[in-house]
């Protein structure tokens, strides 16, 4: 990423400014990383050390004891999170792409109103749908199941994925569709052969965004899955914290395990995550 | 059939399934929650006798809910300026103050956004632990007088939660401002400087006004999520101590799913919807209009 240098910076401040800024930014970076230090050091301590030392002390005898314990406790949750996040991410991104195609390229009367009504779902305080959602899922015997959570995340993921793909496809020239039509391609062919291959960056943004959000969700998960066997990792982690007062090393190891998948995605594909982040604020 | 007509039909066929789902899961559910909020459903067994606005009157008279509203206001007043000022400062410094390494710093300030609030809450609860956490550090650097019970002290608990929230969300403001700053033409700043404007004046009268749309969207996005906050508080303090950090999002969950007061939970949810809508809808209308007119 390139940074813009201000031309003709006032020479008298030039030196102090030049040195102060990197120092300030570095101090800020260190502060932002404090919780990472705490996570890593505490999770490598033994029970005895956690109870004797402060949050800031380095582990004297690093051990993976806490990770073993947290891993055992969270393994079902981690598995459930994968089973839930992968299909929900793929389905909601694909549906978003179809909606975006229809709303940006094909258009119809009232398309803007339909889009606005879908979009509002993005900002919904989900508390306002929880009771009917639980009732509906119970009626269809989906309450407490991973499938119920998948359905929930697909539906409430539609607004953001639709927004992302609509904006993405708006930037693709309309002549492409015309040209394809002249060559005798139908809409399905156009979507599959031309639009989909062009959508790879769009899918990366949507998939990464949805993956992160669904993996990290807590409200739907804690409301819909009352059974420990179908709980995702966020709920399992919260349960771990509730039942293990003062066993902070296990909690920190658990928090690290729960955070690892989204963190790894961020480290390698952060660029797309940032794009997803900013697409949420429309064209602000 | 003309190609336009066919496109239109195809578009409707494509959007309909999703739109239908949204109509039920968003608007239908809102209507149903609104209805429940007017009933006497206050136990495990659903009951749909209408009681008018009695639940709302009861709710607003409840000390716990009054505390919720107060806490939401205080939390928002800590959270919003915290994120925007920090975000703007970091973005300005990255954009104008350094030649290299901008992406590196940006990535560090942004990484908390990829974490779950449950993870954030777990870590910060440990950092704010009164006996082993921040207090120890303060003592060691000679700031012992700042010792506090943090999340266990009713006076400091909301502040502590806000610190964790700012840590997690300030990167969003930074990224938005950075994108905004990159869109400002450099010649403009140069012109201001040629006209004799100092650093501060350039910032105050040129840059800041040009960043207004960014500030708007940052305030709306963070503001509405501050009104909805649930996970972080539920994990860090569960609303305590003595309701010092309780917010509508937490109380809705507790009233509905732990106390079986479904009608009250529905009431709280409707109030939350009202708050969020009053922030979001004007913003959405403005955005849409701008998009159409451009």
Note the pLDDT of residue A33: 97
Residues of chain A neighbouring B236 (CB-CB closer than 8 A): none
Which residue ranges make up each domain of chain A? Answer: 66-279
Note the pLDDT of residue B294: 42
Residues 173-202 of B with CB under 8 A from A: 175-176, 179, 182, 186, 189-190, 193, 198-199
Is the pLDDT reported for residue B22 higher than 50? yes
pLDDT, tens only, B10-21: 999 999 999 999
Is A237 touching B (CB cutoff 8 A)?
Answer: yes
CA angle B185, B190, B193 (to 5 degrees): 140
CB within 8 Å: A3 and B98: yes
Is B16 touching A (CB cutoff 8 A)?
Answer: no
Residues of chain B neighbouring A129 (CB-CB closer than 8 A): 25-26, 29-30, 33
Which of B30, B109, B117 has the CB atom closest to A128's CB atom? B30
Phi, psi for B94 (deg, rounded to 5): -65, -40
Helices B117-127 & A233-243, crossing angle to 10 degrees?
Answer: 20
Is B290 touching A (CB cutoff 8 A)?
Answer: yes
Residues of chain B neighbouring A24 (CB-CB closer than 8 A): 93
Cβ-based neighbours of B241, under 8 Å, separated by 6 or more: B151, B152, B153, B154, B157
Residues of chain A neighbouring B253 (CB-CB closer than 8 A): 127, 130, 219, 222-223
Is the pLDDT reported for residue A67 higher than 80? yes
d(CA A240, CA A254): 8
Residue of B nearest to A110 (CA): B12
Residues of chain A neighbouring B274 (CB-CB closer than 8 A): none
Residues of chain B neighbouring A111 (CB-CB closer than 8 A): 11, 15
- With tokens 């309450």, the residue in question is A143
Note the pLDDT of residue A284: 34
Which H helix or E strand runs over B219?
helix B212-228
Residues of chain A neighbouring B8 (CB-CB closer than 8 A): 106-109
Shortest distance between the Cα of B155 and any Cα of chain A, in A, equals: 23
Note the pLDDT of residue A281: 67
Note the pLDDT of residue A2: 46
- Report percent pLDDT > 70 for chain A: 92
Is A184 touching B (CB cutoff 8 A)?
Answer: no
What structural domains and CATH numbers belong to chain B? Answer: 62-293 (1.10.3720.10)
Average pLDDT, chain A: 90
Is the pLDDT reported for residue A152 higher than 80? yes
Shortest distance between the Cα of B123 and any Cα of chain A, in A, equals: 6
CB within 8 Å: B122 and A263: no
pLDDT, tens only, A199-211: 999 999 999 999 9
CB within 8 Å: A277 and B113: yes
d(CA B18, CA B28): 14
Average pLDDT, chain B: 93
Residues of chain B neighbouring A252 (CB-CB closer than 8 A): 122-123, 126
Is B82 touching A (CB cutoff 8 A)?
Answer: no
The mean-pLDDT minimum among A9-13, A185-189, A193-197, B234-238 falls in A9-13
Note the pLDDT of residue B194: 85
d(CA B193, CA A279): 33
Residues of chain B neighbouring A59 (CB-CB closer than 8 A): none
CB within 8 Å: B10 and A28: no
CA nearest neighbour of A25 among A37, A35, A33: A33
CA nearest neighbour of B134 among A44, A55, A250: A55
Concatenated DSSP letters of A140-193: TT-TTSHHHHHHHHHHHHHHHHHHHHHHHHHTS-THHHHHHHHTT--HHHIIII
Q: What are the helix (H) ranges across A65-145?
A: 65-101, 111-120, 127-139
Residues 148-177 of B with CB under 8 A from A: 167, 172, 175-176
pLDDT band, residue B289 (cuts 50/70/90):
confident
d(CA A123, CA B279): 10
- With tokens 């393994």, the residue in question is A75
CA B125 from centroid of its chain's CA atoms = 20
Give this prediction's pTM: 0.93
CA nearest neighbour of B90 among A37, A22, A280: A22
d(CA B52, CA B35): 10
CA nearest neighbour of A115 among A163, A170, A164: A163
Is the pLDDT reported for residue B265 higher than 90? yes
Residue B39 β-bridge partners: B50
DSSP state of B284: H
B121, B232 contact by CB (below 8 A): yes
CB within 8 Å: B217 and A282: yes
CB within 8 Å: A107 and B11: yes
CA B265 from centroid of its chain's CA atoms = 21
Is B138 touching A (CB cutoff 8 A)?
Answer: no
Homologous superfamily of domain range A66-279: MetI-like (1.10.3720.10)
Q: Is the peptide bond before B241 cis (omega within 30 degrees of 0)?
A: yes
- Interface mutation target, options B88, B109, B118, B270, chain A, most CBs of A under 10 Å: B118
Is B269 touching A (CB cutoff 8 A)?
Answer: yes
CB-facing half-sphere around the CA of B286: CA atoms within 13 A: 13
d(CA B9, CA B1): 10
d(CA A84, CA A107): 33
Two tokens, residue A273? 């995550």
Residues of chain B neighbouring A135 (CB-CB closer than 8 A): 46
d(CA A277, CA B169): 11
pLDDT band, residue A283 (cuts 50/70/90):
very low
d(CA A251, CA B126): 9
CA A283 from centroid of its chain's CA atoms = 20
As a whole number, mean pLDDT of residues A215-223 equals 97
CA angle A272, A275, A281 (to 5 degrees): 150
Is A156 touching B (CB cutoff 8 A)?
Answer: yes
Using alpha carbons, list the distances in angstroms from residue A61 to A10, A50, A243, A247: 53, 11, 26, 17
B78, B159 contact by CB (below 8 A): yes
As a whole number, mean pLDDT of residues A27-51 equals 95
d(CA B272, CA B280): 12
pLDDT, tens only, B53-111: 999 999 999 999 999 999 999 999 999 999 999 999 999 999 987 888 889 999 999 99
| Ramachandran sector of residue B101 (left: φ over 0; alpha: ψ -120 to 50; beta: rest) | left
CA B264 from centroid of its chain's CA atoms = 23
Shortest distance between the Cα of B149 and any Cα of chain A, in A, equals: 15
Shortest distance between the Cα of B63 and any Cα of chain A, in A, equals: 21
Phi, psi for B39 (deg, rounded to 5): -105, 180
Is B120 touching A (CB cutoff 8 A)?
Answer: yes
């Amino acid at each position: 990423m390139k940074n813009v240098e201000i031309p003709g910076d006032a020479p008298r401040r030039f030196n102090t400014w030049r040195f102060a800024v990197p120092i300030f930014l570095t101090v800020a970076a260190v502060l932002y990383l404090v919780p990472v230090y705490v996570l890593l050091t505490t999770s490598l301590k033994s029970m005895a050390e956690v109870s004797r030392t402060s949050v800031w002390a380095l582990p004297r005898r690093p051990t993976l004891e806490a990770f073993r314990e947290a891993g055992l406790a969270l393994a079902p949750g981690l598995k459930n999170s994968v089973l839930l996040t992968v299909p929900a991410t793929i389905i909601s991104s694909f549906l978003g792409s179809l909606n975006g195609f229809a709303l940006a390229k094909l258009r119809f009367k009232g398309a803007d109103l339909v889009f606005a009504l879908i979009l509002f779902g993005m900002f919904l305080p989900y508390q306002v749908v929880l009771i009917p959602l639980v009732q509906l899922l119970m009626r269809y015997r989906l309450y407490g199941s991973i499938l119920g959570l998948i359905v929930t995340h697909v539906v409430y993921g539609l607004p953001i994925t639709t927004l992302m793909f609509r904006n993405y496809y708006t930037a693709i020239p309309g002549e492409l569709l015309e040209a394809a039509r002249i060559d005798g391609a139908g809409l399905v062919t156009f979507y599959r052969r031309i639009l989909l291959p062009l959508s790879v960056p769009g899918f990366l943004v949507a998939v990464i965004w949805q993956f992160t959000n669904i993996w990290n969700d807590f409200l739907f998960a804690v409301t819909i899955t009352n059974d420990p066997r179908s709980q995702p990792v966020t709920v399992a982690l919260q349960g771990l914290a509730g039942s293990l007062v003062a066993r902070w090393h296990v909690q920190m190891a658990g928090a690290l395990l729960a955070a690892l998948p989204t963190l790894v995605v961020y480290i390698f594909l952060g660029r797309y995550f940032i794009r997803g982040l900013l697409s949420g604020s429309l064209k602000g | 059939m003309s190609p336009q007509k066919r496109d239109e039909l195809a578009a409707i066929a494509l959007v309909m399934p999703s739109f239908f789902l949204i109509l039920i899961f968003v608007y239908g559910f809102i209507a149903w929650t609104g209805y429940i909020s007017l009933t006497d459903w206050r136990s495990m067994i659903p009951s749909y006798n209408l009681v008018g606005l009695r639940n709302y009157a009861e709710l607003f008279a409840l000390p716990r809910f009054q505390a919720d509203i107060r806490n939401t206001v205080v939390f928002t007043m800590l959270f919003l300026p915290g994120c925007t000022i920090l975000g703007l400062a970091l973005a300005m410094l990255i954009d104008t103050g350094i030649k290299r390494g901008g992406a590196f710093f940006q990535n560090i300030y942004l990484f908390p956004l990829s974490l779950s609030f449950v993870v954030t809450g777990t870590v910060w609860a440990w950092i704010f632990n009164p006996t082993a956490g921040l207090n120890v550090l303060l003592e060691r650097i000679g700031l012992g007088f700042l010792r506090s019970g943090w999340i266990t002290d009713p006076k400091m608990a909301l502040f502590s939660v806000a610190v964790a929230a700012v840590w997690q969300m300030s990167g969003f403001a930074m990224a938005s401002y950075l994108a905004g700053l990159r869109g400002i033409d450099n010649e403009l700043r140069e012109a201001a400087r040629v006209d004799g404007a100092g650093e501060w004046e350039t910032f105050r009268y040129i840059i800041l006004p040009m960043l207004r749309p960014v500030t708007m969207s940052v305030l709306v996005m963070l503001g509405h999520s501050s009104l909805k906050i649930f996970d972080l508080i539920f994990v860090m303090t569960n609303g305590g101590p003595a309701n010092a950090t309780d917010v509508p999002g937490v109380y809705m969950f507790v009233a509905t799913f732990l106390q079986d007061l479904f009608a009250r939970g529905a009431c709280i949810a409707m109030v939350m919807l009202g708050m969020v809508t009053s922030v979001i809808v004007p913003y959405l209308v403005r955005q849409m209009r701008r998009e159409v007119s451009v």
